[in-house]
Amino acid sequence: MPDLTKFTTLTFDCYGTLIDWERGILAELRPWADRNGRTDLDDNAILEAFGTTEAACEAETPDKLYPEILAEAHRRLATQWGIKANPDAAREFGQSVGRWPAFADSATSLQYLKRYYKLVILSNVDRASFARSNEKLGVAFDRIITAQDVGSYKPDLRNFEYALADLDRSLGTRKADILHTAQSIFHDVVPARAVGLATMWINRRKAVGGWGATPAPQAKGAPTMPDMEVGSMADLVVLHQAHLRGESA
């Protein structure tokens, strides 16, 4: 296991890692599905359908802002589930990111980590949506890089290459200084490893298993396992404290 103290910069995925997007997504889609007669869909079926649909929309229209991606995913889910499309409902879902809650340990963990690292966001949203989430996270990030800035969505390698160039230019941060910290193997761990970044998996679904709102990894021969794994941001703090004491875990 790498020594956490050797890194100077943590790049974070936000949604699924710091913001509880699965709880936020279900709070929006579950009542809508129920109102339209799809009470047969359990929570995991809703999350998995969303995950594959959202990823397809991002890959097909990388130039669209994230609220448009969400609205299109909503329209496709309506078709898939036999629900009459409702433009107002789709548009409202597109604007829902700011309503998604933070995980209980995110703000305090980030405040602790800010004492030791530069903190960077590398997120698959737009700047306006992230700004609403950032209010819940309690720290000032050193850099914020969104899909809107790059013009593509993770797992596209361009997002990571853009971030590496930006951090080298703006912060003087080298690749070896960075630990990419994220919940999604599909969106983050596989492409981050492909560009040579060390990776920390925040395995928020460790207790329940499955992939939830993130598609299963499709690595095509690339390594899929992270360099390190913890179950939460709070566990990351505990591991960092152990490494500060010179302990291996």
Residue 249 — pLDDT band, cuts 50, 70, 90? Answer: low
In the chain, where the domains are located: 4-20+102-244, 21-99
Whether 13 is catalytic? yes
Query: Could you tell me how far CA 157 lies from the centroid of its own chain?
Result: 15
Distance CA 229, CA 218 (A): 19
Cβ-contact 129, 156 below 8 angstroms: no
Considering the four listed CATH numbers 1.10.390.10, 2.60.40.10, 3.30.40.230, 1.10.150.750, the one that applies to the domain covering 21-99 is 1.10.150.750
Mean pLDDT for the stretch of residues 231-240: 97
Query: Could you tell me how far CA 217 lies from the centroid of its own chain?
Result: 14
Question: What is the per-residue pLDDT across 82-112, written as a single tens digit (0 to 9) for each?
Answer: 999 999 999 999 999 999 999 999 999 999 9
Cα dihedral 234/236/242/244 (nearest 10): -110
Question: What is the per-residue pLDDT across 25-76, written as a single tens digit (0 to 9) for each?
Answer: 999 999 999 999 999 999 999 999 999 999 999 999 999 999 999 999 999 9
Distance CA 36, CA 141 (A): 41
Residue 183 reports pLDDT greater than 90: yes
4-20+102-244 belongs to which CATH class? alpha beta
Catalytic annotation, pick one of 13, 20, 156, 177 = 13
Q: Residue 236: exposed, middle, or buried by beta-carbon count in 10 A (0-12, 13-18, 19+)?
A: buried
Residue 210 — pLDDT band, cuts 50, 70, 90? Answer: confident
